[in-house]
Chains A and B, each alone.
Chain A
C-alpha cells in the first residue's frame, strides 16, 4: 500500500496544484483537507506518513494543527511540512519551533515540492 500524504490548505487552486503534483510524481496517496477541521477529521482515520500544511487558515490555523499533531501518539514523529510565504517568516519560525519538519516558500516549483517531500518521506 502506498504512503498516505495529507495536504491541508484552504485555497482550492493551491491545494489542487500541490495535490496534482504529488499525485503525478510520487507513489503516494494524496488526501486533501480544505481547513483544520477537515484535517482533524481525516487524521485519526488514516495513517498519514506526511502532512503538508498552510499556516494562515480559518478556524484552526497551521500552528495549532502542528501543536496538536505533536501531542498525538501516532503523529508525534510524522514529518510535517509548512507551506508558507516570505511574508509569513515569523509564523514559519514558530511552526518549526513546535515541531514542524521543514518548510516550502511560495512560489515554489514542482521540482522543489517533489524534492522536499521525497527527502522527508519516511
Chain B
C-alpha cells in the first residue's frame, strides 16, 4: 500500500487521534467507577479493549512498528483484564493513562515523518503486570442455552456469561421482534434500559420465520432482578423473556464453544482447496486499449487504400471479376473492423459505481469535517461510461460535492430553525439519456443566493449597475472565472469556489454543466457528458473538395451567408453576428488547400464554434450534415498536427480528418493576433 502513502498516513493519524480521544474519556470514566465502586462496568472495559485493538490493527497495517508494539502489549493486558485474568488497580490506571499519552505523541510523530519516541520503560511496566486475581470457582450449572447462541459467543462473551453465573446472577433470554425500518434505534434503546438493571451479554439476530420483513433478536441477559421484574421492564417493546436457569439439576451441561469450534475448523480447512476458483477477469491498462484503438484507426486507413487499389483494378480491361472479389473482401474487412471497434469501446465502458464508493466516502468525510449531518444517496451506479472520462470526472464531482456540503447544506441548527430535518441530503444520480450520460449532484440546502451574487457581479462590473436582476444570468455568473475567486462573493453566496474550474474540466470532456437552484429548497448541478470520447457526433463540412468533421460539442451554431458579408477589420476577416463581431478563419488557408475551381456562387457557410469563453467562425463551402464518428488518433503518420483531433471514416471507404477547434483557433490566434 505504498501508493498515496502520505495521504493514507494522514487518514491513519486522524483515525488514531479519534480513537485515542475516546480512550482518554473512557479511561477517565473507568477510573471514577473504580474509585467509587471498586469495579468497572464490563462493557466499558470491553470498549477500552476494543479501542486499543482497533489502534493496534491500524498501526500494523501502516507498518508503524513502535506504535504497533506498544498498542499490542496494551491490548494483551486489556484482554486479560476483560477476561478476568488481571485486576484493575490505581497503579494500572496510571500506567494506562501514561501509555495513552505516549501513544498520542507517537501518532503525532508518525504524521510528521517518523516515530522518534521510544517506549521500552512503558513496555517493561506493562509486562510486569499480570499477577492474576484469586481464581474463582467456575460456576457451571446447567443452562438451557440454545446451540446457536452458545456457538456464536466470542471468548469475551463466554467469559462474561461465566462471570454472571459465578456472581449468582439470573441468566435470561430476551426475545424481541422489531420492524426493519427502525430496529437499530429501538434495539439500542432496549439494550440501554436492560443495561441499567444487568448486563446484556450477547445480541444475536435470528431469522424471522414469519417473513414479515421484521428482524428478531435473542439477547442473552445477566441480572439480579427476577423474571417478572425483567418482563415488566421490556413489556412495552413486546419482548418475551425466558429463564435459562432450570429449576432442576437434570438439564444437560452446556458444551464448550471451543470444543465444537475445533472440529469445525478442521472440516473448513479440508474444504479450503475446493473453494479455489479461477479468476474470470483481467485488468487492462487503459493506455493499451488506446493503443489497440489506434491500430484500428490505421487499419481503417489501410482499408481505404485497398479500396482505391480495387477501384483502379476494376478500370483495367478484363479484371472486373477480380475487382468484384476484392471489393467483397474489403466489405467483410470493413464489417469486422466495425465489430472490433465496438468491442473495444465496450471494454472501455465501466459502471459509474467505480467512483460512487469513493464519492460516498469523501462526502461522508467532508460532512464530518464540516460538522454537518448529511445523508449521502447514490443512484444509477450501473450507468456505464468511458473509463478515461470516469477518472477525469472524479475531481470536478468532488469539487461540486464539497461545495454542496460546505456551502449548500446548512448546519443542523440552521436547518431546524428553517423548518427542515436536522440531516441534510446529498444525492448523486447518474442516468443515460440518448448518447449522453447525465450526472446530477443535488443538495437540499439553502440554495444559491441570487441577490448577493447579483450585487457582487455589479460590484465587479460584470453587469451594469442599472440592469435588472436576472436569475438565469446569476446561474451563469457563478461559473465565470474571476467571479468565483472574489472572497466576499464566496462568503455571501456560499458558492463559487472554483466552479469555473469544474466547468472547464467538464468542457474538456466535451460535456456541459448547468445549475438549478431554489431558495431554501436546494441546488442541483447537472453534468451532461458523452458516453465516450471515442465516438462523437460530428458536423460534416466540405471545403475545396475536402471533407472534414467538426465535433458537434464545440459547435454553437451554423450560418448561411455570402462572401460579400465578410468585412475586413485590422487586416482580419470578421462577420457581424447579431451586432457582435465574430472573427473568422478559413480552412483552406489553415490547411493550405488548393482551390481547383472557383465557387459556383457567392454562398458560403460559417460554423460558429466555441473559442474559450467567446466564439469564432470557420468559413466552409458546404455543409453535409451530422454523423456519429469514431475518432482515431492519427499519430505517427501525420505527427501531431495543430487543428486536428484525428481521423474518422464516413460513408463508403472515405477517411476524413476531424477538426479540433481549440487548437485550430489557438494557432490562428498566435499567427494573427486574434483578440
Contacts and interface: CB of A to CB of B under 8 A. Distances in A.
Interface string A14-28: 101101110101110
A107 B63 contact: yes
B1 A109 contact: yes
A5 to B, nearest CB: 11
A106 B57 contact: yes
Contacts of B260: 97
B42 interface: no
A85 B56 contact: yes
Contacts of B559: none
Nearest to B282: A27
B1 A44 contact: no
B70 to A, nearest CB: 14
Contact of B205 (A30, A68, A122): A68
A60 B191 CA distance: 12
Nearest to A83: B57
B15 interface: yes
A23 to B, nearest CB: 5
Interface stretch (B29-37, B71-79, B88-96, B490-498): B71-79
A63 B258 CA distance: 13
Contact of A11 (B58, B75, B205): B58
Contact of B155 (A23, A44, A94, A107): A94
Interface residues of A, number: 65
Nearest to B184: A37
Contact of B58 (A14, A21, A27, A55): A14
B151 A23 contact: no
Nearest to B259: A97
B183 A102 contact: no
B205 A40 contact: yes
Interface string B184-197: 10011001000000
B1 A17 contact: yes
A25 B1 CA distance: 12
A115 to B, nearest CB: 10
Interface of A: 1-2, 10-14, 16-17, 19-21, 23, 25-27, 29-30, 32, 36-38, 40-41, 44, 55-61, 63-68, 71-73, 79, 85, 87-88, 90-91, 93-94, 96-98, 100-102, 106-110, 118-122
Interface of B: 1, 8, 11-12, 14-16, 18-19, 47, 49-50, 53-54, 56-58, 60-61, 63, 68, 72, 75-76, 79, 148, 151-155, 157, 180, 183-184, 187-188, 191, 202-207, 215, 257-258, 260-265, 268, 272, 275-277, 279, 281, 283, 351, 353-354, 357-358, 361, 381-382
30 contacts: A1-B382, A11-B58, A14-B57, A14-B61, A16-B11, A20-B358, A25-B283, A30-B357, A32-B357, A41-B180, A58-B47, A59-B184, A59-B188, A60-B204, A61-B157, A67-B148, A68-B206, A71-B148, A72-B207, A73-B207, A91-B154, A93-B258, A94-B151, A96-B268, A97-B257, A97-B262, A97-B263, A98-B264, A107-B68, A119-B277
